[in-house]
Amino acid sequence: MLLRNKKKHDINKQKWIGIGGHLLEKETPDECVQREFTEETGLTLLDYKLRGLVTFISDEYETVQMWLYTASKFEGKLKPCDEGELHWIDIDKILSLNLWEGDLKFLELIKKPTPFFTMKLSYQGERLVEYKVQFH
């Protein structure tokens, strides 16, 4: 997990989030997850799985979609991240971290062998006001 504590103006300031980033032009979600994983951790993914598509809606920011992956195998040496502090967190302790309320919803799902899902998380400020999930 990544504790976002290095950028001055950061919507995720002092929150724990997974690693990730934005899809580049002509890049697939699979290519993006591999690139972002390596850029932020120094590690190379060897085995990963697409678990869901999450849509974040906000009254303050534009709508964002997140392709949600889990990884089971990687190689390399962990390097410092310029966006925050990387920490290995036991999966049973993740839900006790300072997380976005909606992140609790999808993190709870990916702890189990759930089918692919789409999820809608709507926020007013930092408060989650709507949550919908559909399994496929």
CATH of the domain at 65: 3.90.79.10
> Once rounded to an integer, what is the mean pLDDT over residues 11-18?
91
Count of domains forming the chain: 1
SS3 for the chain, per residue? CEECCCCCCCCCCCCEECCCCCCCCCCCHHHHHHHHHHHHHCEEEEEEEEEEEEEEEECCCCCEEEEEEEEEEEEECCCCECCEEECCCCCCCHHHCCCCHHHHHHHHHHCCCCCCEEEEEEEECCEEEEEEEEEC
pLDDT band of 11, cuts 50, 70, 90: confident
Condensed to tens digits (0 to 9), the pLDDT of residues 63-104 reads: 999 999 999 999 999 999 999 999 999 988 998 999 999 999
Condensed to tens digits (0 to 9), the pLDDT of residues 82-93 reads: 999 999 999 889
pLDDT for residue 57 is more than 90: yes
Q: Give residue 35's domain range.
A: 2-135
